[in-house]
């Protein structure tokens, strides 16, 4: 409908994140084939999975700032093309390493996975900039959660898509097919997206008035204005404790998210003896609840915002409770005596983990919308240390202490995030009173 064109934009972002997550998670389902071909052990395989995070860190940092400077459309096109190219190159990563890096297939995977991660890194900070530009004030939490829906949905669909492609073709061809999907998305996106709703002919005057309405703003909220220029510098992020603690809270989410995405297939194979043919449905299970709670969390946060008039209750309070429940579920997993018990606890824990996913991004928009891209990028940089730490640390923990230790580590990460969110106070900071002489 003409009056709600912004939802077309949000739908395309969901689709993009689904493609994005399948691209990054598919390698986990090809683990046995790749390990057999190149002779990696558990530590080396943990490193292969973790290399993605090194590029992801810096991609998030620079991509967010670039979205503020050049506009989100420019960034979307560049990163979409970039990650598709390096998904394609993943099929030849081992051969590239052997040919160019002294016969080391591991170095080849490092090179390709780092560059792949770099181009996927700006995704969520650019989503945040897009939401800041396009969403109405009262739907910020839900709009962010729609963009983030692709995270659990993509992770859930990774299992059947990857297993199906691996069943009918090779792991190399799988990556070529996934790359083609990314390129198709870029072509469609360039024709339907503009940086601002003011620039789009399909956005009606009525819809634009809703997007730019100030009637629903709380006293400590701000509104993004068209052509707004901000004199706030990037380092002001570190002067605001709310933004710093919010990034630490988000780290907890990403640690669990990436742990499940990268190690669940191998855990199920090693601990319970499942074959690849069984992983198409088992790999989906931990993400089912999260697909609902990521949307529920955005709605619930917006409801609490309107009901209480307090951004701290709506954002920080929701995250604290969710992370506490997440920690409890993952702490119980090592004591589960059956695959059913493990999967239930994993699914419930991941559902609680995803409930406040939109909160971390909403806090940035609530606090400094004019820098949603830059500050989103810095937040994602800090957060995405987890994309390195989770798979790499798990490799060492599994060899040293067994698989139960990886769930204990996930619980510890949740507790750290919960404590950090206690100090988050979203909204524009009031300037200190200055005495007039």
Residue-level pLDDT at 436: 37
pLDDT digits (tens, 9 = 90+) for 149-170: 887 888 788 888 998 999 999 9
Task: Report, as an integer, the average pLDDT of 341-363.
Answer: 92
pLDDT value of position 228? 52
Instruction: Give the pLDDT mean for 193-210.
Output: 89
Domain ranges of the chain: 2-198+234-421
Instruction: Answer for the pair 340, 347: CB distance below 8 angstroms, yes or no.
Output: no
Q: Give the pLDDT confidence score for residue 19 in this predicted structure.
A: 92
Per-residue pLDDT, 221: 60
Average pLDDT over residues 98-104: 89
Evaluate whether 361 touches 144 at the Cβ level (below 8 Å). Answer: yes
Q: What is the pLDDT of residue 375?
A: 86
Q: What is the pLDDT of residue 329?
A: 96
- Both tokens of 381, joined, read 């940089």
Residue 171, pLDDT above cutoff 70? yes
CA distance 230 to 352: 36
Task: Categorize the per-residue pLDDT at 108 as very low, low, confident or very high, splitting at 50, 70 and 90.
Answer: very high
Is pLDDT of 230 > 70? no
> Is 75 in contact with 126 (CB distance < 8 Å)?
yes
Q: Is the pLDDT of residue 434 over 50?
A: no
pLDDT of residue 220: 57
pLDDT (0 to 100) of residue 437: 34
Query: Residue 433: its pLDDT value, please?
Result: 46
Please tell me the distance from the alpha carbon of residue 46 to that of residue 394, in angstroms, as a whole number. Answer: 7
- Enter the CATH code of domain 2-198+234-421: 1.20.1250.20
Stretch 134-149: mean pLDDT: 79
Share in percent of the chain as helix, strand, coil (round to 5) = 80, 0, 20
Phi/psi for 37 (5° steps) reads -75, -35
pLDDT digits (tens, 9 = 90+) for 277-326: 777 778 788 889 998 998 899 889 989 988 888 889 999 999 999 999 99
Predicted local distance difference test score (pLDDT) of residue 229:
55
CA distance from start to end of the chain: 57
More confident position, 172 or 25: 172
pLDDT(1) > 60: no
Per the CB < 8 A criterion, the answer to whether 345 and 285 are in contact is no
């Amino acid at each position: 409908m003409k009056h709600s064109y912004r939802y077309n934009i949000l739908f395309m972002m969901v689709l993009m994140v689904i493609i994005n997550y399948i691209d990054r998670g598919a390698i986990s389902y090809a683990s046995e084939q790749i390990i057999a071909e190149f002779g990696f052990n558990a530590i080396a395989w943990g490193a292969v999975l973790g290399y993605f995070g090194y590029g992801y860190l810096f991609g998030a940092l620079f991509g967010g700032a670039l979205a503020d400077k050049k506009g989100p459309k420019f960034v979307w096109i560049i990163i979409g093309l970039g990650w598709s190219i390096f998904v394609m190159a993943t099929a030849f990563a081992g051969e590239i390493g052997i040919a160019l890096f002294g016969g080391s297939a591991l170095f080849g995977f490092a090179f390709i996975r780092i560059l792949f991660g770099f181009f996927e890194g700006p995704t969520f900070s650019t989503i945040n900039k897009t939401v800041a530009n396009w969403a109405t004030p009262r739907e910020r939490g839900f709009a962010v959660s729609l963009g983030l829906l692709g995270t659990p949905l993509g992770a859930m669909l990774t299992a059947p898509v990857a297993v199906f492609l691996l069943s009918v073709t090779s792991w190399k061809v799988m990556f070529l097919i996934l790359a083609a999907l990314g390129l198709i998305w870029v072509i469609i996106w360039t024709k339907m997206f503009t940086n601002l709703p003011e620039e789009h002919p399909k956005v009606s005057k009525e819809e634009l008035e809703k997007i730019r309405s100030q009637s629903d703003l709380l006293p400590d909220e701000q509104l993004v204005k068209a052509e707004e220029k901000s004199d706030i510098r990037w380092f002001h992020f570190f002067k605001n404790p709310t933004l710093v603690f919010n990034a630490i809270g988000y780290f907890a989410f990403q640690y669990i998210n990436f742990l499940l995405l990268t190690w669940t297939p191998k855990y199920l194979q090693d601990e319970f003896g499942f074959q690849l043919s069984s992983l198409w449905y088992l790999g989906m299970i931990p993400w089912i609840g999260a697909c609902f709670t990521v949307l529920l969390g955005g709605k619930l946060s917006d409801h609490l915002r309107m009901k209480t008039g307090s951004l701290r209750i709506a954002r920080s309070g929701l995250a604290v409770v969710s992370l506490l429940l997440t920690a409890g579920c993952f702490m119980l997993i090592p004591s589960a005596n059956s695959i059913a018990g493990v999967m239930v606890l994993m699914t419930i824990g991941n559902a609680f983990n995803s409930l406040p996913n939109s909160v971390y991004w909403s806090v940035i928009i609530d606090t400094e919308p004019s820098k949603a891209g830059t500050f989103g990028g810095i937040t994602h940089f800090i957060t995405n240390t987890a994309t390195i730490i989770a798979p790499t640390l798990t490799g060492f923990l599994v060899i040293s202490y067994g698989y139960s230790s990886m769930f204990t580590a996930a619980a510890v990460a949740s507790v750290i995030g919960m404590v950090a969110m206690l100090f988050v106070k979203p909204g524009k900071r009031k300037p200190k009173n200055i005495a007039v002489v």
